[in-house]
Every structure is written in C-alpha cells, then in structure tokens.
Chain A
C-alpha cells in the first residue's frame, strides 16, 4: 500500500513530453491505404440508387464497400444485454441521419479516396424528418424507426419505469406541488484525437486492428459480430487514446477498416477529420426531463413524478442502458418514499447519441439538484437544510427498493458547505447518516418504513 497517497510519476509521462507516445495514427505499417466514407447529406431519405462501379475503377482505389459487403450488417451495441440490433453498419436502402455512412473507399491517398467517394453514384428521395423528442409519442409525427419512434423493449413497456410506494397519496397529501422542466443539451466530447483505426490483414489469416477504442474487448466483440468471425480471428492493439470521454465506445471506425482491409488485402487506415467528428460522431444525448415534487410546507418531499425523454438519435446504441442508469438516480441522494418515473428512449433523425462522462446520470443529477433548489425557493427554506433533512440515511431505501447501508449524502453535503464557507445551524452541522429518528422521522416515513418492511 505504499503507492496510495504517494506522488508518483506517470508511467507514460516521459513518452508524452518527448513525443514518443504512440497513438493509432502514429503507427506506421507499410503499404497502408487511406479511407474516406460516403456519408448521407440528408437527415432522412430513401436511397434509390447506389452504384460504386465508377469509384472502383478509379486509379489508386483498392476497395469499395457497401452494405452488401458486410456479413452481418445490422447489429446492436447492447445485444449482449438483450437489446435487439437495429443499426446497419453501412446504410441499406435508407438513411436516418445526416452523416450516416453509406459506403467506404480504401485508396492510395486521402485525396484519391475522396475523389472515389465523389464518383459513387447515389440518389435519394427525401422523407420528413423528426428532430423534437417531445413529438416522439405523437401519432402524427413522421415514423422514423422500425420500432416506432420510441424504444419498446423494456420488458412489456415502451419506457423504463420506477414505481415505489403510493404516488397518488403523496400528491394528495402535499401542501405544494413544485414543477420544473430541465433540458440539458447534447455535447460533443471533442477529444483532441479524432476517431481513427488501422486494420492490418496478417499472413496467418487473422486481422490486427489498432484501435482508439475505450473498451477493447467490447469493440472486438462488435467487429467479430459484424464480420461473423470467431474472436480468435482478431487481434486488437490498443494503446494511448488521445481522449475519449465516452465518445470512443461506439467502435466507429474499426469495423469498416476491417472490411476494407480484407477486401483490399492491404492495411487500411481511417482517420476522421475534425469536421466528421463534429458532424457525424456520436455525442452526449439531449434530454427533456419534467419533474413534479409533492412537498410539505416544512420541507419534506413526499413524492416525485418524473417523465424523461432521451434523444437517442437515429438508432438505439447504448441509450436503453443510459435511461436505465438515469432512472436509478432520479431520486438523487435523497429519500423520497413515493416515486413514479417513466423514461422514454426517443428516436430522432440525429446522429445516434452515446456516452459521455457520467452517461445518463449527469443529466438527471443536474435536473434533480436544480429542482431541489427550486423547491427550497418556493417553500422559503434554506436549500442546504432541505437537502440535509431529506438526505439518504442508513435504512432508507433507494428508488428501486434497495436498503441503504452506507450512504454518504450527509457527510458530503456538510463537507461541501464547509468548503464553500456556508455556516449552517448547529443542529444541521451535527447531522450524521445514522438511521432516522426523532424529528428526522416524520409520520409519513414511519408509515413508509412499515410499508417497505423496514425500520424498528
């Protein structure tokens, strides 16, 4: 345990400051070809013509691929978790977001690859597009996903739901209902290194892929699934990733490089431009979160109703998981005995969204903390005191009914208040995470504890 608390040099630090650290684009393999992709210029359209013959015939072009070249084109990132696949690697018959890849070229230079992309003959018939997640459940909205505009596979439901206690009782009993709508927006992770992959066909029939993925084994599985090869056909080489922040879990470049490398029989590298990164790479999702808290005038939160709409973009990717994480945290670090949460994964004609630091949780934490401050303001109560009273304590249960053994809300809140120079009344400064008693155990929580089979 000597390392804990010690200031140690980074093992990669010297490499970073001498320019020796190797990122995927720095790997040099002889005879490497460069990749450019044909991307949809439309938000939503049918593809009425796709002819790559002219591109294939061009000087310096070694391979062109479309959906026809993908052994298993439709796959879902979360198939291992039971989320059915819905997204084509390369568009087949239609495009659902601007920037969606339709075809890819491997050629002797980036210029030659780009010229070949421009020589691909493609025609579209544009369709109405959906951008506003608030319209996703509207029967008149354009239908843009084969599942309807809302992910339908949360068991028998089309939403992630949390039900705890008796929400109607809470809203009936409350002195005040405080409502709020919170709309955190999409954010591009913008790592300094863009998406990049280098695929090298080996003499023994295996494929080596130099990948910038944040999750090597996961991406290996995705590539193996699309190529319909056993995992031992692939060798993934990771290394230093030039920043990911959640934006490099979608295996954005590896599979297309792999297919081109196999077809061209040469190493193939795809280095996304910054423009591609901004326009076509997956971002943190946008959310629409509506919260209604049933509260007493003396600052007890009796119940919370939440409806969340999550902008998954054109395909599901990790969104069903993100909304699940979001659901776990929708009561925040506080003990709210009656909950009704409905979270919808909505499809729009945007680039599919993905993870970014705190995936699913940052959005709801922002919403619930902002909302609590609003509640405090409406009730005329100090916002620290409101939080400390309702904070999770030993024996309280989480939103999905798990009894809490070691919550840290009180300790953290008190430490934070001290750090920023907030002077709390003594009774608050002395609060602990011990099981509720006395003034901290109002009538409704006693009844709730009995209902949940807790407490003395």
Chain B
C-alpha cells in the first residue's frame, strides 16, 4: 500500500470512528450533567480542548487529566475528581480502538509502530474531547433555557 493510500484510508477510518464515538461522548456529558457548568466550568473544558490540541503525545493529555483529578481531590471535590477519573478511563479505552484501527492499516515500511499507535490514540482522544466539549456547552445552554 502506498503512503498516499495509507493516509487516505487512515483519514476515512478516523472520520468513521469519530462519528461513531460522538454519541458515546454525548452520553458521557449527559451522565455528568449535574457538574456542568459550576463544578466543571466552561473554562476547564476549553483548557482541556487546548491541551488536547497541542499535545505531542497521548501521555500529555493523561498528565493534564490526572493533574485535574488530583487538584479536585486536594480541594475535597470528590465529584469533580470522579469526572476527571471517568474521562481518563474513557479516553484510555480509545487506545484499544486505535490498536484495532492500526491493524487494518498496513503501515508503510519504516514506520515506527509505537509512534503510529500513539498518534492515532491522540487523534481519537482529540475528537472525543471535541464532541464532549460541544455537547457539554449545548447541554448547559439547554438547562438554562428550561
């Protein structure tokens, strides 16, 4: 498979997975709606979005989330700590998805498998977070309307 074919297939596969995971990210936001927007603020969600967009490795995202959970724990906000821990688990699970996806994409020679997996995981996590932020803000606006 040529580099171009690989990139096209990768792009299409990521798009399909992103669309599929949108409902799951929305369910995550729904499950935690009681925390929005006061315990988990829009600023925190935007901060998460910025970290995810600028992360070079998946570990950077995980570190940020762990840090948020620790901060919440120190402040005695266990519900908020739970939110970040749940998010860490949800995004962590996407590694399995990235692994399965990678198997369907014959990598061009000389590609570092570990790096390719991490990049894929980071990308899927970024899209999940995009859905999560959009749905959280949407839901908060809906709660205000009611």
Same complex origin of A and B: no
